[in-house]
Chains A and B, each alone.
Chain A
Amino acid sequence: AQSVAQPEDQVNVAEGNPLTVKCTYSVSGNPYLFWYVQYPNRGLQFLLKYITGDNLVKGSYGFEAEFNKSQTSFHLKKPSALVSDSALYFCAVRDGGSARQLTFGSGTQLTVLP
């Protein structure tokens, strides 16, 4: 079985401050991990992924994520938040050892305050 959890429904951060959006996962095999962002009235857009290799993954718009195998986490981070980063963020996981499709988390609404 595979699952993903986003423990925070809402994250608020001041513009210019670092941001973190949390994600933990559970898979039987090796995890394929993804972050997507959704702006109002739009579909999900791919931000970054971890498949293998370096635990720190860099993606679009200055975002990065850190894969931590021991904590089964894949938190999304950005050193300096922008108001335009305000959106709904989804973490997703696929078990690399199975044919199952992506499982999405419940989403975290990020609000960056000016």
Chain B
Amino acid sequence: DARVTQTPRHKVTEMGQEVTMRCQPILGHNTVFWYRQTMMQGLELLAYFRNRAPLDDSGMPKDRFSAEMPDATLATLKIQPSEPRDSAVYFCASGNGVYNSPLHFGNGTRLTVT
């Protein structure tokens, strides 16, 4: 059963450190999304890629966050420098680009910044 793979599953880091989260979308999917989930804000869309091109990153704090797709099998989300308020679960999701098709989510990276 094809699935979205996210690494690491858990990350604990100190404030100021760089954090990199990785995502392998389902083979053949051409859309990739990064979401952040917190108790207070729920699910927030951070960035969206289609055919590896960033189409929308308006939900992402530009000064510290960056998202890239070096190739079709890898998406990365970086935070530099990290802050305690970045503590959350970060999800990657991929889709086949058809608007009425569902997204497939990874199991997330739980980030704790101390």
Interface size on A, residues (CB 8 A): 20
Q: Counting CB contacts under 8 A, is B93 at the interface?
A: yes
Chain A 7-48 interface 0/1 with B at a Cβ cutoff of 8 Å (1 = within): 000000000000000000000000010101000011111100
Q: B42, A45: Cβ atoms under 8 Å?
A: no
Chain B residue nearest in CB terms to A96: B99
Q: Counting CB contacts under 8 A, is B108 at the interface?
A: yes
Q: B100, A43: Cβ atoms under 8 Å?
A: no
Q: B56, A101: Cβ atoms under 8 Å?
A: yes
CB distance from B88 to the nearest CB of A (A): 14
Known: A44-B91, A107-B42. Is A102-B100 also a contact (CB below 8 A)? no
Partner of A43, one of B45, B56, B99, B108: B108
Mind listing 10 A-B residue pairs with CB under 8 Å? A32-B100, A41-B107, A42-B107, A44-B91, A44-B105, A46-B103, A46-B104, A49-B102, A94-B99, A101-B48
- A sample of 7 more A-B contacts (CB under 8 A), given A46-B104, A102-B103, A104-B43, is A32-B100, A41-B107, A43-B105, A44-B93, A44-B103, A51-B100, A101-B45
Please provide the 10 A-B residue pairs with the shortest distance between their CB atoms, ordered closest to farther.
A43-B105, A46-B102, A51-B100, A44-B105, A104-B43, A106-B42, A43-B107, A32-B100, A43-B106, A42-B107
